[in-house]
Amino acid sequence: MISDKISNSIKNSSMIRAMFEEGAKLKKIYGDDKVYDFSLGNPDPEPPAEVKAALRELANSEELKMHSYMNNAGYPEVREALAEKINSETGLKLGSDNVVMTVGAGGALNVVLKTLLNPGEEVIVFAPYFVEYNSYIDNHGGRLKVIDTDYKTFLPDTELLTKSITSNTKAVLINTPNNPTGVVYSKKILTEIANVLEKKSKEYGHTIYIISDEPYRKLAYDVEVPNILTIYRNAIMIDCFSKSLSLPGERMGYIAANPEADDIASLMGGLIYCNRILGFVNAPALFQKVVAKAINSSVDINIYKERRDLLYNSLINFGYECVKPDGAFYLFPKALLADDVEFKNRALKHNLLIVPGSGFGRPGYFRLAYCCSLETIKASLPAFKALAEEFK
Amino acid sequence: MISDKISNSIKNSSMIRAMFEEGAKLKKIYGDDKVYDFSLGNPDPEPPAEVKAALRELANSEELKMHSYMNNAGYPEVREALAEKINSETGLKLGSDNVVMTVGAGGALNVVLKTLLNPGEEVIVFAPYFVEYNSYIDNHGGRLKVIDTDYKTFLPDTELLTKSITSNTKAVLINTPNNPTGVVYSKKILTEIANVLEKKSKEYGHTIYIISDEPYRKLAYDVEVPNILTIYRNAIMIDCFSKSLSLPGERMGYIAANPEADDIASLMGGLIYCNRILGFVNAPALFQKVVAKAINSSVDINIYKERRDLLYNSLINFGYECVKPDGAFYLFPKALLADDVEFKNRALKHNLLIVPGSGFGRPGYFRLAYCCSLETIKASLPAFKALAEEFK
């Protein structure tokens, strides 16, 4: 009785549900600490002390109207604080009117896509990629075009990008640090992408946007995450506090654009309008103020770095092939079987919960989310070793 | 460069922006207290003490993982609490799995419409109606069919409804207590609507849903708001805490369905899936717990009742025609000119900010939102009187 498309999508997503159920079953049999769950990207560190203090301060204050509607774009002072932070890091000149507060990065992506897309316009995405992009683009009548990254580096292939752009291309959606690979795009590669789009925008006589989804931008270990707004004038930056402040359940994110972008007033007007008509209305009130008060804080990224180092080094030692990730909290090693779904099943026999790469548009690989304690990782290592030995 | 549809929609909505700007200009000239702003439905009472206490308690607690992701449907214990509350009021037998927590009622409506609608399917709405329904239905490829209510009562005309349903009708979207009229649908009228839909569902061989948007259900003054789930098995109830707990900025709402509804598992599965893929992901974590702790509290509705009585009685005395509203915080009197936009301009000359009925699909009327102090209402009365006298 519900929509045919939704009904079919649910049937197709039942594989993932089945996986979780299998995991739950294993945990019941063997105990939580004997099942090594690398399937979920749910940040486990607590929010920084500054966040907890800001929340307490606001909750205990006598300030009135703290939970009222505000402008659909969010509180002006919060947007101003974010604009100033970006400016201080980049030398750009964003104003509060170049920032829109959103219901997380997922909300932000839907707002941006709704604002930009005419029916049938294409959005290019580099595989492997976060599979929700399929739905987000389809929600607003767009067409997803997936192109492969380089097999050795998981970095975009700009020649392939150049060939893939058509008159129908509206945007290129990038995600750095990347889910699922953990790869961070350098200034060099971003500049190459920007150059391609600059040229193609001219050739086709319309703006081709970069939509840069950066929920993991604070989680970079050995490298810097360049600010896309300094590299491409028509970039739209999406950031959130789910990972950097460990607040995923509170749904707080934002969109920022360069004041020099084409027709910036209508872009920002569109974003604010779409934030409203998609039913978000505004980002949750109280947590806008919380993140503004804790704007310079971050979770301790060494927690994640230590896990990455242990897990990455161990896997390499056991004979897995894996691009060393510079950020996010994922590893994306090569599966030891061409059939990554079957490989996931084999891993399950060792009480290892992993996600097949085909769930990210790149079969033959698997994703590990290290949102679990160092102890769990340590305890899991013999299982990874035994799994590798099966295929020697 | 943005989507043509969004670009055009923004141009069309510029009338409302112009109105706000005119209002702001007037306030600058005459002072805030000399401009009587009845344009915005932004609840002004503070949240009840129980809400503030719950927020303080949670913010000060040492509970871990309070801001993590949870099930996309929301915390099971919060959904359980809401299900039990509905059960205790109705004798129904909802479980936690018949409730989905949402980003406000606006988010809930989008989730429901995305779940139900195949391309081109119709949703029937009774005029006057909340104009965002246009966007919400269009977002998901549906077609809005507007039919008039009775001119004397603003109640649905079930004969007209019967004639308007086609094989393409997926749902009837009702809103009680109503924005903009303040009218509350009685059990009798709801039962009549249910009977029509029961018959038509059989005739066409598919379920026709009632989607009942009830953000004002706690704001009813002299009458009871019946629970739609007790009246129609295939009703989907949408409620939120924006008005009942004065928390509009926090975006907290929920969807509830009757466990006896057709194919309930796939309906609930669809709602949860759509909550995720529309980018809401989950309702904000902390405020789910806040509303569960304050589940039996409510703003003091006598604040609104007193305002309604003063404003309604005064307008009637001055010669305005108006259906006496039983709920919400709106009056919807007849404009004293056929051209309600021109009437809005004439009101502006008396420093009265009102919204033309054409903004709600019913020209010739105007909406007053009494989300302002009793003092403002008292101070505005001479202006309403003078305005009426112009047309005598």
Q: Are residues B220 and B330 in the same domain?
A: no
pLDDT, average across residues A181-198: 98
A41-100, pLDDT tens digit by residue?
889 999 999 999 999 999 999 999 999 999 999 999 999 999 999 999 999 999 999 999
Asked whether residue B81 is assigned to any structural domain, the reply reads yes
CATH number at residue B322: 3.90.1150.10
Last residue in a domain, options A273, A293, A313: A293
Residue that finishes a domain, picked among A270, A293, A316: A293
**Domain co-membership, B73 together with B40:** no
Residues in Cβ contact with B26 at an 8 Å cutoff, skipping those fewer than 6 apart: B35, B348, B351, B353
State how far residue B172 is from chain A, nearest Cα, in angstroms: 15
Predicted confidence at residue B19, as pLDDT, reads 77
Q: With beta carbons under 8 A apart, name residues in chain B contacting A250.
A: 67, 284-286
The one-character DSSP state at A21 is H
Contact flag A107-B279 (C-beta cutoff 8 Å): yes
Which of A293, A326, A353 terminates a domain? The answer is A293
pLDDT of residue A15: 67
Does one domain contain both B222 and B165? yes
Q: What tokens were used for A269?
A: 């007007």
Of A59, A65, A280, the CB nearest to B103: A280
Same domain (yes/no): B16, B98: no
How much is the pLDDT for B16?
A: 67
Q: Does residue B271 lie in a domain region?
A: yes
* Cβ atoms of B206 and B118 closer than 8 Å: no
Comparing alpha-carbon positions, the chain B residue that sits nearest to A140 is: B139
**Residue A56 falls within a domain, yes or no?**
no
CB contact under 8 A, A287 and B282: no
B280 CB neighbours in chain A (<8 A) are: 103, 106-107, 251, 279-280
Give domain status of residue B54, yes or no.
no
Is residue B95 included in any domain, yes or no? yes
> How many domains is chain A partitioned into structurally?
2
User: Do residues B160 and B147 lie in contact, with contact meaning Cβ atoms separated by under 8 Å?
Assistant: yes
- Can you spell out the DSSP letters for A51-98? HHHHHHHHHHS--SSTTS---TT--HHHHHHHHHHHHHHH-----GGG
Burial of B384 by CB count in 10 Å (0-12 exposed, 13-18 middle, 19+ buried)?
Answer: buried
Pairwise CA distance, residues B4 & B1, whole Å: 8
Mean pLDDT of chain A: 96
Same domain, A223 and A325: no
Question: Which residues, at least 6 apart from A248, have a Cβ–Cβ distance to it below 8 Å?
Answer: A42, A43, A104, A242, B67, B68, B69
Q: Are residues A116 and A202 in the same domain?
A: yes
What CATH number has the domain bearing residue B211?
3.40.640.10
ipTM, 2 decimals?
A: 0.97
Residues B18 and B160 in one domain: no
Range with lowest mean pLDDT among B40-44, B174-178, B212-216, B278-282: B40-44
The alpha carbon dihedral of B348, B352, B355, B358 has a sign of: negative
What is chain A's percent helix, strand, coil content, to nearest 5? Answer: 45, 15, 40
Question: Domain for residue A10, yes or no?
Answer: yes
Domain range enclosing B43: 4-47+299-390
Are both B367 and B260 inside the same structural domain?
no
| Rounded-to-integer distance, Cα B272 and Cα A84, Å | 37
Q: Which chain A residue lies closest to B119 (C-alpha atoms)?
A: A3
Instruction: Tell whether B271 and B304 lie within a shared domain.
Output: no
Same domain, A20 and A133: no
Span B23-81, pLDDT tens digits: 889 999 999 889 999 998 889 999 999 999 999 999 999 999 999 999 999 999 999 99
Polymer length in residues for chain B: 392
Residue B58 covered by a domain: no
CA neighbor of A254 nearest in space, from A282, A276, A278, A230: A282
Q: Which of A9, A46, A283 sits opposite B64 (nearest CB)?
A: A46
DSSP A118: P
Q: Are B279 and A110 in contact (CB under 8 A)?
A: yes
Name residue B353's beta-bridge partners.
B37
Q: Are residues A282 and A381 in the same domain?
A: no
CB contact under 8 A, A285 and B42: no
In a domain, A53, yes or no: no
On whether both B74 and B154 belong to a single domain, the answer is yes
- Report the SS3 class of residue A240: strand
SS (H, E, C) B49-61: HHHHHHHHHHHHC
Residues 6+ apart with CB under 8 A from A36: A351, A352, A353, A372, A376, A377, A379, A380, A383
| Shortest Cα–Cα distance, B116 to chain A (Å) | 4
pLDDT in tens, B343-358: 999 999 999 999 999 9
**Per the CB < 8 Å rule, is B263 touching A114?**
no
Beta strands, E only, B176-222: 209-213
pLDDT in tens, B369-380: 999 999 999 999
**CA dist list (Å): B246 to A15, A133, B375:** 41, 35, 20
Tokens at residue B170, please? 């997926």
